[in-house]
Every structure is written in C-alpha cells, then in structure tokens.
Structure 1
Amino acid sequence: MDPRLHEAALNGNVATLHELLQEDPLLLHKLTLGALSETPLHIASLLGHISFTEEILKCGPGLARMSDERGSYPLHLALARGHVEIAKELLKVDPSLTQLRDKDGRIPLHLAALNGQVNMSKELLLIDPTSARAVSDRGETTLHLCVKHRQVEAAALVLEGDKELLNTKDQIGNTALHLATAKKQIQMLNLLLKEPNIDLNAKNAYDLTAFDVLVLTPSEIGDMDIVEMLLKAGCKRGKEPTALIESKNPGTWKTILGNVCDQWQKKDDDWLKDMHNTLMIVATIIATLTFQAGLNPPGGFWQESIRPPSPMPSPSIDKVDAGTAIHDYFDQTIFQIFMFFDMTGLVSSLTVVLTLISGFPVRNRLVTWILVIATRLAVSSVALAFTFGTLLIMKPGSETTNFPFYVLTCWIGIVFIFILGHGIMLLVCLVKLLIKFVFPGMQPEKSVKPATERETKQRDVGNPGCCLA
C-alpha cells in the first residue's frame, strides 16, 4: 500500500485520497489484486472515519469484501468498535456482507449482538432473517453469544424473530439455558424461562441438565433465587452428582472412597499446573551433575601409562592406561555400581528434557506421570551414585565408611514411603472404579424415616444446602 494512502486512512483525510486518485485512478482497484495485511477501508472502519469510508466505497467497493491477515473484514471491525454508521454504509454498498465470517467463524450479526448493538442487530436481521441461526466455529448461535456476553436486550430481539434458537445446542451440547444458569444471569433466565417452547431439561454432551450445571458450579449469593426460579419453571436434575450422593450418605464406604479419590485428584490437578517447568529445571540440574560426575569420577585418573603399583586386586594387570579411572582398578565392583547409577540418572533426566522440548502432548495426564516417574528415577539414581561414590573416597576400615550405608537405608525408606502412599491412592481409586462398573446398582442401605416438609423440599431441589452454602 502507498504510504501516503496509509497516512490518509489513519487521519481520515479525504482531500489526500482525492489527490492520490487523480494521480492513479486505479489505485484502489489495484489493492484488490493482492493480499494485504490491511486496506485503507480496514483502517477507516476501525478508527471510525465515516467520510473517508464513504469515499473509499464510491471508488473501490470491492475492498469491503477483503479480509486482513487476521481474517477480519471492514464490517467486523466497524461493529467490534461500535461504529454503527460505518457499518450501515458498508451494508448499503453490499448487503451480502452479512454472511462474511471472521477467523472465529462469526458473522456480523454475532458481533453486533455480543456488543449489545440492538438497533444494528435489528437492521442485520431485516437484511437476512436467517443469519440468527448461523453458528460460529464453536457451534454458538447468536443467542448463545448474547447469553455469554450478558446482552439481554439483544437476546430478546433474536428470540422475537426465531424461537427455535431456544433449544439449539452448541459444540458441547449446551443450550442458552445451560449457559445462563452456569453464569447465573437472573435477567437472562427470566427471559428464557418465559418462553413456552423451551426444553427445560435438555442435556448437554456431559449428560447434564441446566439444574445439574447450577448444582455443580461454585456457590454464590443469590443461588437460592435461581434454584427457586428453575423449580418453579419445572427444571429437574438429569442425574445425581457425586457431591449430593456424599452429602446424603455420610460415613458410608462409598463416601469414604469417593472423598479420598476426589481430594487426591484435586490436589493432583493443582500440583500438575506448574509441574512441567519444575520437571525441566530439576532434569537439567540432574543432567549437569551426572554428566560432570561421569567425566570426573571420584579418585581421578591415571596421569600416564605405567606399571601398576602393588598390591593390585588382580595379578593379571601388568599395566594401567593413562586417562582411565583409578578406582576402576582398585574398587572395580563399587566403581561399576557408581557408574551404573550415574548413567541411569543422566539418561533419565535427558529423557525428561527431550520429551519436554520435542513437542509431545505433555499436557496429557499419562505423559506427565511418565515424566514424573522418570524424574524420580533420576533423583534416586543421583542419591545412590553419591552413596557409592563416597565409599570410593573413604579410607578402608574407617568408622565413617558406615555412613553411606546409613544414608542409603534412609533413602530407600523415603522412596518406599512415597511408593506406598501413591500405591494406596491408586488402589483406592481402582477399587472405586471396580465397584462402579461391576456393581452399578449397588447402593448403601439407608434408614427410612418420615421426612419433614423442609427435608422433602431440600431433597427435591437436590440438597442445594450442601452445594450452594
């Protein structure tokens, strides 16, 4: 793009535009022949230069259908910035612009609705009444976007033209009622629940109704008002959440197993958030230590090839080679154990580093746990290598030679405790899954007693006191 044209678009300078067009009447037409990061019409639409936009559209109307490098069209930019007059001028030139999609698959009506531009949304619907049903790349209709962005007036306008949007589901099966309940929008719920054709108990891809979504979301002040609204409208639970089962049956075997697994899982999720960076740092440090220890073993090297000093462990050794480890001749067994653990630590830590930098899906839980196991192996190998390395440099027969064995025993005990703890948690979760799949109908026995009116109401609500308190 000519720098002078770019400057004129930034300033909305119509006079400069006319001068440039006198120099080259095909200036704007040439812009439509190639890919540009942005056109003068993009800049004018974004900045709200209405007069400049009108002149551009007179001379180069084809620019209205050109997208920038981010996939946005001038009409999208004008609506995103709230420049309604510019949007109207663009639509006068080409009403079919209502079907253009940005990089997220959203049409102009989507942007107008989510920004609360009710009058503009009305004009777009007049031009193309079917555009309300258009879905974005996430499967969201205009009504979904209105709910997500708390635009009640725009939602009412959309529903006035198309009632079938009430029960349309997005990519994960959520209707507008699911979203309004999850976001706890009382005004939006009032609007939706007034509609006679709404499916109050529609289920999403996770088999949850709107009532289930409310029960499972974090509690806030005013939740009981929403509960009353949903109950009065006729909403029901699709399935009984685990939290409600536990609150109704405290102290049972099912509750104990569920609590242990759920608490462990929550801690595990929190712990894994920063795990990858931590693993990279630890693995890099271990790789450095083991690399250094492998090339500079305890006791050093023979400086030159000479006849071995006496006594040697093996009479068959009649010469030592320069550059070889001294302890490889005198304490061969311990030295080989030291080198084995040192190499194990090096390989394990390098495996972690390579996995983290090679583009594998490390956010996958299985891959993360494999990395954790490899790091534990590397840490344990460093501890064992240090233990046997100290044996090589201690005086034979000294009382201090027992210290490494004490350290080794303590380390093995610590590792065993970690393995035992994780093993117990894994066993508990496996037992819970086994019971769930092998005995799906098995329920803990409950004592039967007359229920008061308050208890009956709480049972019908889904025991909201325990979930919403």
Structure 2
Amino acid sequence: MGDRLTAASKAGDVTALYELIEEDADFLRRVEEIMFVHTPLHIAASDGQTCFAMEMINLMPSFSRKLNKSGFSPMHLALLNGHSKLLLLFLRADCDLVRVKGRGGMTSLHYACTKHGNDDVLANFLVACPKSIEDLTAQGETALHIAVKSNNLGALEVLVRWLRRVCHVEAFNWEINIPNWKDENGHTILDIAVSNNMQLEASSLLYVLKLLAEINAKTSDSLTVSDILRRRQSNLGRNRVLRTQCGTTDPEQNASTLASYLRSKLSFDERLAVYITRHKMKISDDVRNILLVVAGFITASTLQIVVNDPGGFQRDVGDSGNNNSEATPVPSQSHLSDRAAMTVFLLSSLYNNTAFCIVNGVIGLLLPDGLFGMILIRLLPVSILCYVLWIQRSLPNGLVIYNLLVFLLAYVFVFLAFVTYSRGQNKLRQLQSNTNNIACSYRKRKTEAAEGQANSATSADLDP
C-alpha cells in the first residue's frame, strides 16, 4: 500500500486515495501516530499537487504540522520547491502554519527571507500571520537577521516597510524590539550588515543601512547608522546614504502585488494613519467609553462658554426705537477693565474654538466602525453648525468675525488632518483586506471542522 500511496500522492490522484481508504480505513491514522514521517501531504506539497494536498488537509489536518525525517513540514517543502499557489492555500487552511518550526527552528517565514524565498510569498505570510515576526530560530535569529545574512534586499525591504505599516496591538513593541534583537552571538541586524560590507557593492550596502536607519536599528554597542557612517565614512558618505535609492519602488507607481506595495516608501498620510490606528487598537472598550463621555462633556462646556462668554461682552442693541443701529461691543457690569476683559475674551475664544474642533475630531476617531458609527460621524457637522450659529447670535458684531476666523482656522486644521488620515487608511486597506480574507477563510474552516466533530459525536451517541 505504501508504494500505491506514494504514487497517488505524486500524481495527485484523489480517486486512488479513496480506493486505498476503502481497502483500509485506518491507514492514515497509523501514519499520524509516527513522530517524524514523510506523509502523503509532504509528497503532494513537494510536487505541487494542489488538489490532492487540500484533500489531504481536509482529511488529516494534523499532517500539515508534521515534520519529516529531514525536519521539514509540508509548507516548508512547498516553499522550497516554489509552489506559491499551494502556499496561499495552506494559509487559507490555517494561517498559523507559517509558525511551524522545522530544522534549526526555521519557520516558513524564515525560509521566505532566504534566497529560496519569494517576496510576494513573504508579504502574504506577514499579512496573514503578523505574530510570526516574533519567531526565532534555534540560533535566536529573527527574520530580519536571516534577510541581512542572505543579502536578500527585496525581503529586507518588505520586512522593514511592513514593520512600519503593520497595524497591530503589539506593533509599537515590534518596531522597537525586533530591529535591535540580538542573536545567540550577541549580534543585531546592524552588526551583521556592517560585517557583510565586503560581500555587497557600495551602493547596496548604503541602501541596506538606509533601510535599517528607517527602523532605528542599532548595533550591540548601541551605535546607530549615523554613528557608524561617522566613524567609517566622510560626510559625503553620510549624505549618500540619505539620498541613495538603490532598489526602491516608486510609491506613486501602481503596486500590482502586495510585495511591491510593501516595498514602497511610506507617505505622510500612511504614517499618520498607522500612528492613529495603532493607538486606537490599544484602547479597550471601557476606556473608549470613558473618553467619549469626557469628550462630550468638553463639547458641552465649550458651547456653554459661547453663551456666557468670560469677557463679559454682550450684544448692544442700541436704542429700542432704532432697529438698524449697529451692534458694538459694550462691556457689561464687570470688575474687569475693558482691556483685561478683551484679553480674557480673545484668549478664551482661541482656546474654546480650538478645543471644540479638536474634541469633535477625537470623537470622530473614537466612534466604532460600522453603520452606527458612520451615522454618528455624519451628525458631527450638525453640532459644528449649531456652534457657529451660537457664535453669530450671542456675540457683538465686532467680535463675531474674530471668533469665526479662529474657528475656521481650527476647523480647517482638523479637517485636513481627517482627510490625510482617511487617505492613509485607504492605502493601508490593501493589508487589511488580505488579512480579513485569509482570516475569514481560516475561521470558516475552523467552524466547519468543529461542526463536523459535533455531528460525528452526535451520530456516535445515537448509534445503538
């Protein structure tokens, strides 16, 4: 049966597989009980037999995590043999397969960073399973260590720019710790890059240093890229590292693949969207509710200040018989002098208008996504309109222009910040959409598997 199973796996013959199951329904379980074994899934993954491999994952999901005697999982073999389509199907079946460690503690993500890897596959690994960036080899090396050691500039670009773009609750920690992680020899990625300077052309080395400077990489002695260049090169060399564009992808070009998008430089709107989104992800629901209550209280306070301005100014309607008389600012009965009252009024107006606009912007950011959040965001301009009407109604004509000018400047600032944030979010959706598609497929398969087990258990209970 072993030869027939091997032949069926190599040929991708699903019919032959079920014929073997009819002859011996328990033979796959016996294969599973072996600690290290070259399963039919390993064979299919090596030969790129997609349909057979997916059928085997449906029948025996545990095979996808088994190692053969050489220390490779099926995903390792599919990657090393260049079967990219099969790798994506593995991700949809179980995105955590990226983290299965094989020989030397190497995961599929680590192999994707070597010369055997593929930038598009690497990008999909990172998007499907962001926490795989934390995995270390048996030598304590990260994926960045392997990319630098292998002189794989494409993989290094993808890793560095993904680290700067990823929106995850641990993203801030990753961006600080991973670039400066030390392997078992105490070497950081910048140490390795500097030690590899004889294996790279000058332009390539400068570009590697430029990439590492983006994530604030340091040596084991806490030296930065600038410190190294200051020691080893002239000022001309330090300027070149900031200008070199070796191997970069123009951010304005149409990124046809996920990897080409990740290799592109971050624009300002992306950096703003990443920064805000990361902070939003760290806010719990309870904290979010508290912040919304406080923001609502501040908004109500700013409206109250408009009605009862601290400067003590009121609209002078002039003589009761003359409705066309111009309104002028007249100080009410106050202990403050006219100059002091005007100073207090101008400062309070500046603070009040700025606070109102910023708080409304914060409310817009804190509101949850979805239908109800969208409805509430659409209603925010109504409160802004009411605020403007209160300014026009409650203040003297001579001060309305000043208040409206301050309000307009604050509103334009917040509006432009919102537009910039929205543009950045639209660009980052390329990552989120891929993540959601793979995650939804994975959850669907998990649900189907759980339902199948429940139905099997029910059937077993009903059998006499």
What TM-score bracket applies, with the shorter chain setting the length? 0.3 to 0.5
Query: Which gives a bigger RCO, structure 1 or 2 (Cα 8 Å, sep 6+)?
Result: 2
| TM-score normalised by L of structure 2 | 0.43
Q: Which has the larger radius of gyration?
A: 1
Quick check: which one's helix share is greater? 2
| TM-score normalised by L of structure 1 | 0.42
